[in-house]
Amino acid sequence: MSDRTKIQWCDSTINPVMGCQGCPLWPTSAALISALAGELKNQGISWRQARELAVSAVDGLPASAVYHGRHFIAGELGGATGRGGSKDTGAIAAAIEAGFRCYAGLLHLHKGKDPTQPTKRTNKGYAPTFEQVTCFPGRMAKMARKCDLTGKPRAATTRRTNAGQENVVPGKPWLDGLPRLVFVSDMGDALSAAVPFDYLESEIVGVVRTPPGDRHIWLWLTKRPARMAEFARWLDSEQGAAWPNNLVAMASVIDGRMARAVDHLRRVPAAMRALSVEPLIEPVKIDLRGIDWVIVGGESGTSARPFDLAWARQLRDQCRARGVAFFCKQLGRRPVEDGLELRLRDKHGGDWGEWPEDLRVREMPRALARVTR
């Protein structure tokens, strides 16, 4: 839980569920096999043999286990191919690492269980491994008790970390005066199939409706809008309960395929719907009917893919044409302008003083008026 997050479009974050059953930002077994086989083939092995070796090394293992064991796997494969030098085994380990792009998943790899280090201390606030989706009841209620921010400015603050470092949280003037905006589920996906609807009803919907919860706006993000729509239907038909006004339904879109899933989000009877288009990895055209807010950003991390600013402008223009609020969150690690990579001091591209002026747009949706008391 963070009651003062650096994420630009909200005040706080909360995770009633930790872990996730994956998405294209977290490798499947097939993706790992393909990446490994590709690297082995690069090293001069026939495609058939490369594939057989890759299957024997990782098939059936959870992605977390493959990540933790990547140096061991690389050594074994290097031995099997007769190319066990550090350059080749390093390239095999790097091919595995490249598929791990989800920030929440990477944090779990560092904080959770590592089978290669059985004595390592794990952080109890995380799922044991990212794939072991785990419920944390009570977190939402704790967040609900945080103070009401209605009418308050969001000035920059300085916080001291446990290690004694000064951490500056920049101001967010675009949130000034609004109730507290709480981002639900930034460390996993609460709509993973393993999470029962009963739990989502009591832990999320139930808390959002309580008097303390009703003072805030909760923004629930998923990459599974079809399951969110199914949950909304269950809530109505099985529980006779309406979707709370102050619970914003949000879906992630990173490419054209996910853009088509926005139809499912439209089936959620929320007073406000929003999209997080981050990391945007290709130009997308999105049907924005019924959508109130679009947040866009590039990819962060050492293996970040390029973020062509023309894609952000296209999205901004689509939003303008439909009267949808547009919020440029950050440009990521590799923003590209006219075919050239921009060199920014901020590695996340989060300092908009470094951006082209026409992308310094952080609009808040008019629909917020519908969800506030």
Closer Cβ to ligand SF4, 133 or 328, answer by number: 133
Closer Cβ to ligand SF4, 22 or 349, answer by number: 22
Q: How far is the CB of 21 from ligand SF4 (least distance, A)?
A: 7
Closer Cβ to ligand SF4, 22 or 99, answer by number: 22
Helix axes 47-58, 29-42, angle to 10 degrees: 140
What is the Cα 353 distance to its own chain's centre? 25
What is the Cα 286 distance to its own chain's centre? 19
**Range 204-243, binding ligand SF4 (CB under 6 A):** 223
- CB-CB contact of 54 with 33 (8 Å): yes
Q: Label residues 127-147 b or e (16+ Cβ within 10 Å = b).
A: bebbbbbbbbeebbbebbebe
Instruction: With contacts defined by CB under 6 A, name the span among 15-23, 237-245, 283-291, 333-341 that binds ligand SF4.
Output: 15-23
Q: How far is the CB of 224 from ligand SF4 (least distance, A)?
A: 8
Instruction: With contacts defined by CB under 6 A, name the span among 83-91, 102-110, 118-126, 304-312 that binds ligand SF4.
Output: 102-110
172 binds ligand SF4 (CB under 6 A): no
Which of 77, 104, 284, 371 binds ligand SF4 (CB under 6 A)? It is 104
Which of 37, 54, 95, 102 binds ligand SF4 (CB under 6 A)? It is 102
22 binds ligand SF4 (CB under 6 A): yes
Closer Cβ to ligand SF4, 172 or 224, answer by number: 224
23 binds ligand SF4 (CB under 6 A): yes
Q: Which residue has the tokens 């393993």?
A: 194
Q: How far is the CB of 356 from ligand SF4 (least distance, A)?
A: 27
- CB-CB contact of 307 with 334 (8 Å): yes
Closer Cβ to ligand SF4, 78 or 188, answer by number: 188
Cα separation of 371 and 345, whole Å? Answer: 37
111 binds ligand SF4 (CB under 6 A): no
Which of 27, 188, 298, 365 binds ligand SF4 (CB under 6 A)? It is 188
250 binds ligand SF4 (CB under 6 A): no
Reading the block at residue 266, the tokens are 């439209």
Torsion sign over Cα 310, 315, 316, 318: positive
25 binds ligand SF4 (CB under 6 A): yes
- Binding residues for ligand SF4, how many (CB under 6 A)? 11
Cα separation of 94 and 96, whole Å? Answer: 5
Cα separation of 352 and 213, whole Å? Answer: 32
Instruction: With contacts defined by CB under 6 A, name the span among 72-80, 101-109, 293-301, 314-322 that binds ligand SF4.
Output: 101-109
| Phi, psi at 146, each rounded to 5° | -65, 155
26 binds ligand SF4 (CB under 6 A): yes
Closer Cβ to ligand SF4, 36 or 254, answer by number: 254
Which chain residues interact with ligand SF4 by CB under 6 A?
20, 22-23, 25-26, 102, 104-105, 188-189, 223
